[in-house]
Chains A and B, each alone.
Chain A
């Protein structure tokens, strides 16, 4: 499993790439592996408002359906529009072409609630017991 050190992570297995106030969001390598082959993804429209810790979309695999949780609050400025037609990108490149949305962050102090790569890795280990 790979968790890039420059990213921030949520307890619910999303990652956040912070560039100024722009935060790109996807799900982690661990999440895509645990889900198995993703067959469906539902993303918000640009302009939608997302709230930290609240669902912003849905990802479905042959095993299960899961909510996607926003790592920070803000407005969705970009959506990976080809993704719903190519959900396998989430499995193949969770940190690359499998990105989901870009959020214009409202409050940078919210980043303090997120995990570093190291903390996230420990979280996953605890989760797996």
Chain B
């Protein structure tokens, strides 16, 4: 195998900021205040004023810069190497998006400035809504929700409002056993009883199974398509018909939309409500890289319930409309995570329709390439063409005492982020791999070689895998103690 990416590198120890600096050291100098500062206890009730902030770090600028730079070197990111974290779509975040988000008119806009002075921002949001509607086939879109699960909540609140408006008492939501954990949580948060649906033997939902569970009390079914096994829900059209026939609605978790871009529209599958993850499909930064954004698309029948404000176009002008009596209300301050909307808009424009279709085609091709190349070495529970990701297990390596967690840890030594593990729950000890379209053939081959080498090590030298990772600064953390006895803040000594 070619030289692996991962090496030990030059990595420094780094104490906590609290343990650095010296009394009186400063990292800033502010100009003298040219107005008289009133005493603090005249501005705030005295019981709210701290006399002293104990142990507050007093550090210089260079100490702060080195502190965070050194810690970033302990870490891993999409700008460092491949990140095949299944279900998360950790694609590369193009820098042109960052350029767009830093255009002063966007970056410096005040969220409270009036519509008349925000025409560019409102136009961008209005057009992004239209782009997402076009991609998904949905009729209307809100950009407000701050993440996927927030989008689920928005969607389920609209479904609830829809049924209440039609005087229909519904208490249940059907959720497949492959769903992301947030799906049943969102349904429960809206007061619904969650009814699980077992996945069929071939890894997708059977319409007849749904038919046997759906009744007049079912408000909705929450499906993910492709599902978390990376498989297309082949009976989705029939499932939607079965649910609609009893007056229920179909919610689609759009986490895996990357596989469908420009190829299939969820609306054509009978979906009534869909959330998008801009931080997955539309390449805005993910996790620690920035806040998320979880827009929601709905059919015309649900448009009246969209959160306020709704951006409307009147002639050539845009304004935020609050006069929506049937709206579920506001979900997020101002217009959501606006910077993310700029990045997603930039991404969609940069690719265009043909480019977005190629994104999906390449994502699916890459996942199938990994699946076929790894199949001789790892147990593949559902041996079918996959969509954007594939799910293996540790069954073969387990015979040598090497388990999913060990395989994931060992991958780090090769400079590759571990895949998602132990999810979906319906697969024993899952390894869920999503390469995304942004990894090159060479990078995919490096991932494959690392996996193959680990499979060989599991047979001939399992200790190498069991004691991994060897290269990162810290090896195995005590996750159990961290969960059982968390230390959530620093204290001296």
Contacts and interface: CB of A to CB of B under 8 A. Distances in A.
Interface of A: 34, 37, 39-40, 62-66, 87-88, 127-129
B108 interface: no
Contact of A37 (B421, B422, B428, B480): B480
A39 B484 CA distance: 6
B483 A40 contact: yes
B96 to A, nearest CB: 39
B395 A129 contact: yes
Contacts of A64: 422-423, 425
Given A37-B480, A39-B483, A128 B425 contact: no
Nearest to A129: B395
Interface centre among A39, A66, A88, A128 (most CB of B within 10 A): A39
B479 interface: yes
A129 B181 CA distance: 25
Contacts of B423: 64
Contacts of A62: 479-480, 483
Shortest Cβ-Cβ A-B pairs, 4 listed: A39-B483, A37-B480, A63-B422, A62-B479
5 contacts: A37-B479, A63-B405, A63-B421, A64-B422, A127-B428
Contacts of A65: 181
Given A63-B405, A63-B421, 13 more contacts: A37-B480, A39-B480, A39-B484, A62-B479, A62-B480, A63-B422, A64-B423, A65-B181, A66-B425, A88-B484, A127-B428, A128-B428, A129-B395
Interface residues of B, number: 12
A27 to B, nearest CB: 15
A64 B428 CA distance: 11
B192 to A, nearest CB: 15
A34 to B, nearest CB: 7
A39 B478 CA distance: 12
A84 B223 CA distance: 34
Contacts of A63: 405, 421-422
Nearest to B421: A63
A47 B201 CA distance: 39
Interface string B404-440: 0100000000000000011101001000000000000
A88 B181 CA distance: 24
Nearest to B428: A128
A127 B395 CA distance: 12
Contacts of B483: 39-40, 62
A116 B428 CA distance: 23
B423 to A, nearest CB: 7
Interface centre among B421, B425, B480 (most CB of A within 10 A): B480
A87 B483 CA distance: 11
Interface string B125-152: 0000000000000000000000000000
Given A63-B422, A65-B181, A34 B428 contact: yes
A87 B422 contact: no
Interface string B467-481: 000000000000110
A59 to B, nearest CB: 13
A38 B422 CA distance: 15
A64 B420 CA distance: 12
Given A63-B422, A64-B423, A64-B425, A87 B395 contact: no
Contacts of A66: 425
B419 to A, nearest CB: 14
A11 to B, nearest CB: 11
A128 B405 CA distance: 18
A88 B480 CA distance: 10
Interface string B448-483: 000000000000000000000000000000011001
Contacts of A40: 483
A64 B427 CA distance: 12
A66 B421 CA distance: 16
A34 B484 CA distance: 19
A87 B480 CA distance: 11
A87 B484 contact: yes
Nearest to B485: A39
A40 B480 CA distance: 10
A39 B395 CA distance: 25
A127 B479 CA distance: 27
A37 B403 CA distance: 15
Contacts of A87: 484
A66 B184 CA distance: 13
Contacts of B484: 39, 87-88
A55 to B, nearest CB: 10
A63 to B, nearest CB: 4
Interface centre among B181, B421, B479 (most CB of A within 10 A): B479
Contacts of B425: 64, 66
Nearest to A35: B422
Interface string B225-256: 00000000000000000000000000000000
B448 to A, nearest CB: 25
A128 to B, nearest CB: 7
A40 B486 CA distance: 12
B312 to A, nearest CB: 42
